Structure 1
Amino acid sequence: MTTSTPAPTEAGLDLVTRLNAYLEDVAATLGIRGESCSVDLTGPVAARMRLNWRLPGFPERDVDLMWHEEHGWSAAVATHSGDGHHVVVAYLGGRTVASQPRLVARFADSLRAGEHQDCWPGPPMLRTAGGPSALAKELAAWA
């Protein structure tokens, strides 16, 4: 797992530990390796997991699961420009940004099968970014 981070504080280290554990659980449930995941702690905390399959309707584009500290999980396809930009095709939604790994896997499976009727069409606002301590608390189950 690749992580870009500002200078660590105690709260920041707690967040990194919990977030990495959460993402590792999600990756394991999806059957992918942790090396396919990258984390960005420099702004709103975000993560990306490269999947090893394509979405129906986008057979020539890489697909990633994206995680954002305010919106939770989404699925996105890479643009043709090759500049690392993505276009979000669906959001998981839910009640928390830390959805259970099995729910994230179910979301990915439904997209892979071309069934996204249960997905959110736009970014849900599940929480407001509130610093590393608040986000670490949200990820408390992965201590």
Structure 2
Amino acid sequence: MVGIEADGPQDRGLRQYLRLVARRLGVDLESCWYECAPDATAYIALDQRLPLHPDDDLALIWDEHTGWCAGIEVGRGADLAALTYLGPPVLPPPEDVTVFVSDLVAGRLPDHPEPPAMPAGDGDDLADLLVRYADGGRAKVP
């Protein structure tokens, strides 16, 4: 995607999508963050821990190129160490993100340590999906 206008339809759509994902995960919006420039990205801090990393904070990050990634924050203020990616599509339904997190917390860590290749043309599809979220409609992934 090329640039998202602040408070434009894609910006509002990403905010609404993040709100829906956070709600399904039982996370307050205070634990979420997003921005749209230069690339669209989002972050959700989770309360759960992973069985293999009980001392590390778990978080989800999303970006317009690779979709959702689960990672751990090792140490205070540390960068997120990516563990696994959800995979295509770049903007999966919030329900799919919930299942992804449930599987992680249950110890069923999907083995996708590398960023997934997203289908060509996904940027245009992403813009359309975000506009649908902004309009209050449920975005349908083809």
Secondary structure at 2:116 match in 1: coil
| 1:46 partnered with 2:41 | yes
Give the Å deviation of 1:16. Answer: 1.1
What corresponds to 2:133 in structure 1? 142
Secondary structure at 1:139 match in 2: helix
Aligned AA for 1:136? A
Q: Is the CA contact (8 Å cut-off) linking 2:90 and 2:122 kept in structure 1?
A: no
Supply the distance in 1 between the matched residues of 2:80 and 2:120 (Cα, whole angstroms): 23
Supply the distance in 2 between the matched residues of 1:108 and 1:48 (Cα, whole angstroms): 14
Moved over 3 A (4+): 127-131
For these two proteins, the number of residue pairs brought into alignment is 132
Q: Is the CA contact (8 Å cut-off) linking 1:37 and 1:50 kept in structure 2?
A: yes
Unaligned runs of at least 5 residues, structure 2: 135-142
Give the Å deviation of 1:79. Answer: 2.2
Q: How large is the RMSD of aligned CA atoms in angstroms?
A: 2.5
Give the Å deviation of 1:23. Answer: 0.6
Aligned AA for 2:81? V
Give the Å deviation of 1:14. Answer: 1.3
Supply the distance in 2 between the matched residues of 1:15 and 1:65 (Cα, whole angstroms): 20
Query: Of residues 112, 115, 120 in structure 2, which corresponds to 1:123?
Result: 115
Give the Å deviation of 1:106. Answer: 0.2
Secondary structure at 1:38 match in 2: strand
Supply the distance in 2 between the matched residues of 1:134 and 1:13 (Cα, whole angstroms): 17
Aligned AA for 1:141? R
Supply the distance in 1 between the matched residues of 2:69 and 2:5 (Cα, whole angstroms): 29
TM-score of the superposed pair, with normalisation by structure 2: 0.80
What's the % identity of the aligned pairs? 31
Unaligned runs of at least 5 residues, structure 1: 1-5
TM-score of the superposed pair, with normalisation by structure 1: 0.80
Q: Is the CA contact (8 Å cut-off) linking 1:69 and 1:129 kept in structure 2?
A: no
